Amino acid sequence: MLITSDSMAQNPALTISWNKIAVIPSSHSNEKPLGFAGAINGVNNNVLIVAGGSNFPNGLPWEGGKKEYSNKIFVLEKNGDDFIWNKKVKSVLPQPIAYCGNTSTPSGIIYIGGENENGISNKCFLLKWNEYKNEVAISRCLTCLSP
């Protein structure tokens, strides 16, 4: 044990550095991007998909701003050494949603549950990037539904 501790003490400390590669675009060109809390996010077919989420576009909560839920889908693609948002994507979620459980799978990004202005959702969907159609295909997961 003493030898292991001694050899570990001689190794330099691990350094981690972070770089910002992209900022979620704003809905309007003259607005400052707000970001989205509780957004669905995952990787499928070599792109990052960020969808849904909530924010307060008309003022912070303590200033009387109302929470709004989004149905927008953003797709981040790698272009050489850079990352760019694909501005041609027109896909939207079936309904505004935030705070879902979600995971990336070989079949696509699955998201389950969440909430919106109508309350809690019991729905499950699969998001899959189709680079040829330049869209996010959305299908309902029938096996996830409760009876």
pTM, to two decimals: 0.81
pLDDT digits (tens, 9 = 90+) for 105-139: 999 999 999 999 999 999 999 999 999 999 999 99
* Closest to 127 in 3D by CA, of 21, 53, 37, 44: 44
Q: Are 48 and 30 in contact (CB under 8 A)?
A: no
Whether the per-residue pLDDT at 90 is higher than 80: the answer is yes
Of 94, 92, 118, 113, which Cα lies nearest the Cα of 102? 113
Q: Where are the domains of the chain?
A: 40-144
Residue 101, pLDDT score: 96
9-23, 96-110, 130-144: the lowest-pLDDT one? 9-23
Model confidence at 142: pLDDT above 90: no
Condensed to tens digits (0 to 9), the pLDDT of residues 43-89 reads: 999 999 999 999 998 888 899 999 999 999 999 999 998 999 999 99
3-state SS string for the chain: CHHHHHHHHCCCCCCCCCCCCCCCCCCCCCCCCCCCECCEEEEECCEEEEECCEECCCCCHHHCCCCEECCEEEEEEEECCEEEECCCCCCECCCCCECCEEEEECCEEEEECCEECCEECCCEEEEEEECCCCEEEEEECHHHCCC
